Amino acid sequence: MKAKKIRGHKRRWKDIDHWIQANKEIDLDSLTNYQHNYIKIRVYPWSEMTDINGQLPEPNGITKAKILNGLIEIYDMWKTEIEKLGEPYYLKIWLFEPRFSKSQVVCAIGEWLDFYESTFFKPEKSKEFSAENYGVLTSKIKEFNWEYRYDEEHLNNIEPGSPEDYTSLDGYEERKKWFDKMLKKPHRITDFKEPIGGATESYSFKKGNVWLGGK
């Protein structure tokens, strides 16, 4: 699929600045109540859930650097505030490559600590993080400790459902054909100790890498 061009970069840079300023402060009362929070990249067009007319290219160049610098600024501000709580916390930048637009800052306390610690699959063979790949941000990137994980998408064994779940038999057959094709691709299989929504195992497809960065 041909990627669409992103126009109006200077306007995007202003949007990035506004996004950063709007998210630097963390509401500690809300964090105490809900025990977790996160900030995703909410900058048009990468904040869109779907892209009907074609695949969007990931941010690059100055745009990518500005977004990543914003994630670092948000992380640093959140860290200063969260430490005022005086309790254990999880605070990381999730840096996705090549799906950079999925990157975010994530924090948790209390019962949510273990949840985020086990979000991503940790392979036996690790990789070394190359801070030099991030140009002008190399020195800031090197201030973090980076852990390697897989960026994956998941399906389960109750896909694609049954014909009764669709408005037409053609819709079901199309989904089933897609599902069968997916299962021919390399993937991990995880058996559930107990069924989850009727599913007994999941299929995980590697899309890239995710680096978990903390100080």
pLDDT tens digits, 138-173 = 999 999 999 999 999 999 999 999 999 999 999 999
Is 104 within a domain? yes
Alpha-carbon span 179 to 159, nearest angstrom: 7
Tell whether 165 is covered by a domain. Answer: no
Structure tokens at 60: 């690059």
Return the closest-CA partner of residue 92 out of 39, 22, 132.
Answer: 39
Its domain, for residue 110, covers 9-119
Structural domain contains residue 160: no
Confirm whether 13 is domain-assigned. yes
Look at residue 191 and tell me if it is in a domain. no
| pTM for the full predicted model | 0.89
Catalogue the long-range contacts made by 78-87 (C-beta closer than 8 Å, 24 or more residues apart). 78/26, 78/105, 78/107, 79/215, 81/25, 81/26, 81/28, 82/26, 82/28, 82/31, 82/107, 82/109, 84/28, 85/28, 85/31, 85/32, 85/109
Question: Across residues 70-87, what is the average pLDDT?
Answer: 97
Domain count, the chain: 1
Whether 214 is covered by a domain: the verdict is no
Residue 181 lies in a domain: no
Is residue 70 assigned to a domain?
yes
